[in-house]
Amino acid sequence: MSDNSLLQAMYQSVGINPHTLWAQPDVARIEIHANQVLGVHLVHGLEVDARQLDDGIEARILVTKGTRIAKPIQVCFGMIPDNGVQRIILEIVVEDDARAGVVAHCTFPNARNIRHEMDARLTIGRNAEYAYIERHVHGAEGGVVVIPRSKVRVLEGGRYHTDFELIRGRVGQIDIDIELVGEAHSTSEVAARVSGSGDDRINIREVAHLAGAYARGVLQTSVALRHRAEAMVHNTLRASAPYARGHVDCKEIVQDQAVAKAVPVVEVTHPKAHVTHEAAIGSVDSRQLETLMSRGLSEDEAVDLIIQGLLLKGRSGSQPAGVSYQADVLSVTSS
Amino acid sequence: MTILELKNVTLCLDGKRILNDLSIEFWQGHIHALIGPNGAGKSTTANVIMGLSGYTDFEGDVLYQGRSIKGLTIDQRARLGITLAWQEPARFEGLSVYSFIKAAARNSGDAKVREVLRQVGLDPEKYLSRSVDRTLSGGERKRIELASILAMQPKLVLLDEPDSGIDVEALERIFDALKLLKQQGTTVIMITHSLAVLRHAEHAFLLCCGRLVSKGAVDKIANYFQQRCIPCDHQELKLREAEGLNVG
């Protein structure tokens, strides 16, 4: 396939018309297939330095000091063939007082035997803002292993928001691992929404340390499981500074023979810090189910709608600057 | 014309008789009230009609448009045109008001969703993208429930305690919605122990201890309820039952 055909196929698999994107000069883009950078379009204040690896890409992305990128940067990465390895090593630096949002479309629509690894190190500068939404689209076979690992440091007054979504196609196996440190007056929100079915395996480990005074942090996980899928969620939130505030929220819906486990850990080592947690695992609420069935939905339709609500919950809440959802399609808006 | 008939319905829960040989007929296009003290069996009657889980194993029958619906699931009954608004409507994390109402109005367009929200006094621009969750007040949630029911355009609606937990303004909107349902020719069965709600009905049925004690014009039943039921605490019925008197 030509580079252009690969790009078209990748965008189409995530429901986006690339020509609409390409027609917008003020929207930055980075497009990666396997270990090839197929396209880069930069805007003022955004610098990208990418290097090809045997099995992936190593890249440094910089948003320079004070730059405020109005429209979210569009990142499209994945693989169209049904097998292979893609390893992405990323360093992202958002310098002081800068602001940027990224919408990453990660697609493996034909996967049968694919391994995708992401190792990211992020530094969010003083009073900087960075929002990252990663939306996965997988094929129906589940033949994909996804291992995203991130280490994030949010400096004083910085704001960080990340939202991982995998609700289209089969998960296969996923191991999310994120570690975050929030300094004084920083705000961090980490959300993951995953729908598993078949024999999917989902492991989510989120660890946040609110290390500075008045740091704020929320870890939010929503998982829906069907068939024989299994999920294990570890959320750990530590607060060690005065007036640090945090919350852990984990919700899992299980059906059929699926198995869900959650281990929320909250740790407070300063008398003026405060952390709360909430974890709920169970089947679909019977009152919700009966309400929708009393409007004429079949039991399956009602369950689908309830799960859709749970998994899209993050979308209706706070959204990062410059990024919004319209219906089921990510859209680019001015901030 | 009768649209729904309960025939000698007896239901026991946890060994206790909740409905006791209950027989009632409801007329098409009319607003009915089931009134009675707490524990009279009013909500249980609604749950039996809707076929909710735990309320399907009973003696007797429920006929809808002359046919038994006893073996039908909730959604099958809903597709016949029967629906229920709960006393405390369920909350749905993440589900938007739009999606919730649209689910009930699958054959209608988005304009219908907006129209029904306006009919219950809620601005679509403010509410369509909100979640049907804990951020809504009790009154807002009740009005959205009614909007969903208006969107469904049912033939028979069960409203369980439509006035509970809401303010005066929300109550007025609920009464407005009642008028709309009446105009559409929908049969309404309200479950209540409020005289204010009872006044909006055309016919009333007084229940006590799972039995029909009296039925008829609203004023007559309201007077009976006020003078006899409120101070009675079921004692009169229990005495009459003990004496073997007919309480129908």
Tens-place pLDDT, residues A56-66:
999 999 999 99
Task: Tell whether the model's pLDDT for residue A6 goes beyond 60.
Answer: yes
| Other C-beta atoms lying within 10 Å of the C-beta of residue B198 | 21
Q: List, in sequence order, every residue forming a beta bridge with A123; answer none if it has no partner.
A: A93, A153
H/E run at residue B149:
helix B138-152
pLDDT tens digits, residue range A223-237? 999 999 999 999 999
Cβ-count burial of A161 within 10 angstroms (0-12 exposed, 13-18 middle, 19+ buried)? buried
Rounded to whole angstroms, what are the CA distances from A9 to A31, A33, A80, B130? 12, 11, 7, 34
Residue B150 C-alpha, separation from nearest chain A C-alpha, in angstroms: 11
Average pLDDT over residues A143-163: 96
pLDDT the model gives residue B246:
45
Chain A nearest C-alpha distance from B78 (Å):
5
Q: What per-residue confidence (pLDDT) applies to A1?
A: 77
Of B53, B106, B149, the CB nearest to A286: B53
Counting residues of chain A whose pLDDT is more than 70, the rounded percentage is 93
pLDDT at residue B242, rounded to an integer: 55
pLDDT band at A189 (very low <50, low <70, confident <90, very high): very high
What does pTM read for this prediction?
Answer: 0.80
Of A295, A299, A311, which has the smallest distance from its Cβ to B103's Cβ? A295
Identify which of A290, A295, A299 has the shortest CB distance to residue B52.
Answer: A290
Closest chain B C-alpha to A212 CA, distance in angstroms: 30
| A322, pLDDT greater than 70 | no
Q: What confidence score (pLDDT) does residue A335 get?
A: 30
* Of A220, A215, A212, A209, the residue nearest A247 (C-alpha): A220
**Which of B43, B56, B93, B152 has the highest number of chain A CBs within 10 A, making it the mutation to test binding with A?**
B93
Q: Which residues of A touch B (CB under 8 A)?
A: 222, 251, 285-288, 290-299, 301-302, 305-306, 308-316
Confidence of residue A330 (pLDDT cuts 50, 70, 90): very low
Closest C-alpha to A54, from A86, A20, A16: A86
Per CB-CB distance under 8 Å, the chain B contacts of A299 are 73, 75
Sheet holding B187-192, edge to edge: B82-85, B156-160, B187-192, B31-35, B203-208, B211-216
Q: What is the predicted pLDDT for the residue at B236?
A: 56
Cross-chain residue pair B129–A305, CB shorter than 8 Å: no
In 3D space, the residue among A165, A93, A182 whose CA is nearest the CA of residue A130 turns out to be A93
Compute the average pLDDT of residues A109-118: 93
Q: Residue A331 pLDDT more than 70?
A: no
Arithmetic mean of pLDDT, A112-121: 95
What percentage of chain A exceeds 90 in pLDDT? 79
Q: Work out the number of other CB atoms within 10 angstroms of the CB of residue A38.
A: 18
The residue among B95, B154, B161, B97 whose CA lies nearest residue B124 is B97
pLDDT at A317: 40
State the alpha helices, DSSP H only, in A16-163: 18-22
- Copy the structure tokens of residue B222: 């309201």
* Gap between the Cα atoms of A266 and A247, Å rounded: 9
Select the residue of A298, A305, A314 nearest B95 (Cβ to Cβ): A305
Query: Half-sphere exposure of B120 toward its Cβ, with a 13 Å CA cutoff?
Result: 27
| Chain-chain contact of A305 with B99 (C-beta, under 8 angstroms) | yes
What's the rounded Cα separation, in Å, for the pair A100 and A21? 17
Q: Name the DSSP class of B229.
A: I
* Arithmetic mean of pLDDT, A203-218: 97
Mutation to test the A interface, candidates B43, B55, B75, most A Cβ within 10 Å: B75
Least confident segment among A13-17, A130-134, A248-252: A13-17
Interacting residues of B42 by C-beta distance below 8 A, sequence separation 6+: B34, B35, B36, B160, B191, B192, B193, B207
Per run of 10 residues, the mean pLDDT along chain B (length 248 residues) is 96 92 96 91 96 96 97 97 95 92 89 94 94 91 94 95 83 88 94 87 93 92 82 60 49
Q: Which two tokens stand for residue B224?
A: 């009976």
| Overall average pLDDT of the A319-324 stretch | 42
B74 inside 8 A of chain A by CB: yes
pLDDT, residue A221, reads: 94
pLDDT in tens, A89-106: 999 999 999 999 999 999
Within 8 A of B152 by CB-CB distance, chain A residues are 295-296
